Structure 1
Amino acid sequence: MGDVAMTVPVLLALSRSNPKLQITVLTRPFFAPIFSNIPNLKVYTIDVKNKHKGIPGLYNLSKELKKIHFTAIADLHNVLRTKILKAFLSGNELPFVQIDKGRKEKRNLTAWKTKTIKPLKTTHERYADVFRNLDYRVELSPNDVLQPILPSTSVKKYLADQPLKTIGIAPFAAFNGKMYPLELMEEVLKNLNNTNQYNIVLFGGGEKEIKILKKFENTYSHCYNVSGELLLEEELCLISNLNIMISMDSGNGHLSAMFGVPTLTIWGITHPFAGFAPFRQGEENSILADREQYPMIPTSVYGNKFPKGYEKAMFTIDPQEVVRKIVTLLNN
């Protein structure tokens, strides 16, 4: 979901710079709400489990797409499925540009050796380059974010009344190496809750995660679990109205950043220099594990690979440091 959300500022910039351009995004139905407020854009959904499954399904999809008469195709994913689709569409002689993911630079950045690290091109700029290579003007601006969505009744109940502020916290990640230890995150929750100054909204994932979030909700009077309680459209509405989002290196941080919500990312064995920091969130919006103790960070791009012992890297981040950073960002 993070990769999908990162396309939003780029598509907003593309639409702003090319107001007569009609854009069609090919994506799964679940992700469609993410694109609902981008001008001159419509979504074409792909059914990868049935109608468009496998090579025969992709061939059928290519026939459907040919009927739309595109003038160019931008592949922002560059995976096997899109490579096959490109082959089926090649007879159309359409300009078809695929993202350069910078795999070699990322391999060098994540090599398990002592290294001097430097920031790579951001994923947002890599997306923008695809459109530039199709001869479209794309200049990213801090204003290329979505506006807050007017909250519905189902969303309003989670939002704090003034002067209280609403904090979103998404404590989970796809891999443990980039997830702040739950016992430390609970210290953060406890500190924020006990100030009586905030509503704390908890975002999560599957059944196991929801149980943990409900435990936090039942323990701390100002904490509210929304995972499994809202549709994606409602979650997006809620996120757009937060005062701040605290996230791991994961999708929720990109969802909040696409609305221009201040987003604090807690980094473990991954690192913002790989190009996956949320849109327009500066260095002050990141807290990193200690590279003096764990010099091989970043050990992977996605957080799935690390040397023995590096699973403890995030214990170098003090909960009080996280709380201080949250308060500072809220007061800016």
Structure 2
Amino acid sequence: MKFLIIRFSSIGDIVLTTPVIRCLKEQVKDATVHFLTKKNYCGLVENNPHVDKVIVLNESWELMIHLLQNEDYDYIIDLHHNLRTWKVKRALHGVKSFSFNKLNIQKWLLTALKMNRLPDVHIVDRYLETIKSFGVVNDGKVLDYFIPQKDLITKDDIPLSHSFGYVGIVIGAALNTKKLPVHKLKELCDKINFPIILLGGKEDKIVGDEIAAVNEIKIYNSCGKFNLNESADLVRNANLIITHDTGLMHIAAAFKKKIISVWGNTVPEFGMSEYFGKDQVSSFKFQVSGLRCRPCSKIGYKQCPKKHFKCMELQNVEMMAVKTIELIK
């Protein structure tokens, strides 16, 4: 059987689809698995041995559809389920599709009315529900992330002071309401008595430099110096990861890292917290309880709609630092 899995974005969401890819490949006899995604995210799946072919969401829609039609798929597994995936499915008429239930009404009830009608089910299990018709079951394993040899970090790539162990702190996120303010991150780094590597993209470099200035010997700013796979290897080698609700959190979970996750405008109840399968891995969630405005969005905002940003401003970074050392030991 030949499957086309669709998930266009983003980092975390695609990493969370990897159990579907693996279980299809391992549990369905003679399964061929293709994955359709945006060009920016191809690196997340192109090294996955369970993916036979990665297809790029092309700027030329007609060319992409022509390529897909020539593949002669048996089934489409739509794990994005939006207007664009509907157009793909319509263009591949005659190919039976199975679509992920995004539970948008339930998410709206939680964000708008603070009524939680969401099932207590992780999104990985909800993704796997999409392929249950093929007799596929959850294998209980963690997420997958495969780093090519060329992107492995050597000890020469980081300061000698960090080559014997470090805490990775993910300072970035797609939207500001998911991120600790800079002054809180500086305070956190100051309180952690252990080497620290700041993790993020090029867009986080300036903020990273400001945070690293707190103690340039203890804190190394890697933001903008490494590609995603290289950053993933920094995550893999860390003693512990402190992270917002963002893609590197899920990559850290794929490597069974101890995780301290910091939650702002989003909540774990959306079903997208760190996923370890059946493995028992030490992790801890920091949330500000008792806020009537939270969650305010399933995604996030550039700034707090209420202007006070209490979900992050009231985070207890001193306890984060204490928990960090406790988990490392």
1:315 alignment partner in structure 2: 313
Identity within the alignment, %: 23
2:12 alignment partner in structure 1: 2
Residue 287 of structure 1 aligns to which amino acid in structure 2? Answer: F
Distance 1:109 1:169 in 2: 29
**CA pair 33-147 structure 1, distance change in 2 beyond 3 A:** closer
**CA pair 159-254 structure 1, distance change in 2 beyond 3 A:** farther
1:286 alignment partner in structure 2: 285
Q: Deviations over 1:96-147 (max 9, x none)?
A: 111110111111221245x5676543221221112224x2403141445447
Determine if contact 1:110/1:301 at 8 Å carries over to the other structure: yes
2:267 alignment partner in structure 1: 271
Distance 1:142 1:74 in 2: 20
Residue 300 of structure 1 aligns to which amino acid in structure 2? Answer: S
Matched, 1:104 2:105: yes
Distance 2:167 2:297 in 1: 29
Distance 1:3 1:159 in 2: 32
Determine if contact 1:187/1:319 at 8 Å carries over to the other structure: yes
**CA pair 155-162 structure 1, distance change in 2 beyond 3 A:** closer
How far residue 12 of structure 1 moved from its aligned partner, in angstroms, is 2.7
Of 47, 50, 58, the match for 1:40: 50
2:140 alignment partner in structure 1: 141
2:244 alignment partner in structure 1: 248
Equivalent residue runs for 1:1-332 within 5 Å: 1-18=11-28, 20-48=30-58, 50=59, 52=60, 57=61, 59-90=62-93, 93-113=94-114, 115=115, 120-133=120-133, 135-146=134-145, 152=152, 154=154, 157-158=157-158, 164-192=164-192, 195=193, 197-198=194-195, 200-207=196-203, 209-220=204-215, 221-280=217-276, 284-290=283-289, 292=290, 294-304=291-301, 308-309=306-307, 311-331=309-329
TM-score (norm 1): 0.83
Compare 170-179 and 7-16 and name the one that shifted more.
Answer: 7-16
Determine if contact 2:171/2:200 at 8 Å carries over to the other structure: yes
Determine if contact 1:14/1:136 at 8 Å carries over to the other structure: no
How far residue 287 of structure 1 moved from its aligned partner, in angstroms, is 0.8
How far residue 278 of structure 1 moved from its aligned partner, in angstroms, is 2.1
Determine if contact 2:153/2:233 at 8 Å carries over to the other structure: no
Partner of 1:44, secondary structure, is strand
Q: Any gaps of 5 or more consecutive residues in structure 2? A: 1-10
Partner of 1:41, secondary structure, is coil
Determine if contact 1:147/1:240 at 8 Å carries over to the other structure: no
How far residue 89 of structure 1 moved from its aligned partner, in angstroms, is 0.5
How far residue 34 of structure 1 moved from its aligned partner, in angstroms, is 1.7
Q: Any gaps of 5 or more consecutive residues in structure 1? A: none
Determine if contact 2:182/2:211 at 8 Å carries over to the other structure: no
Q: Deviations over 1:213-243 (max 9, x none)?
A: 1233344212222222112232222222222
Determine if contact 2:142/2:275 at 8 Å carries over to the other structure: no
Determine if contact 1:9/1:258 at 8 Å carries over to the other structure: no
Distance 1:287 1:87 in 2: 43
**CA pair 140-275 structure 1, distance change in 2 beyond 3 A:** farther
Determine if contact 2:153/2:234 at 8 Å carries over to the other structure: no
TM-score (norm 2): 0.83
Compare 12-21 and 74-83 and name the one that shifted more.
Answer: 12-21
2:5 alignment partner in structure 1: none
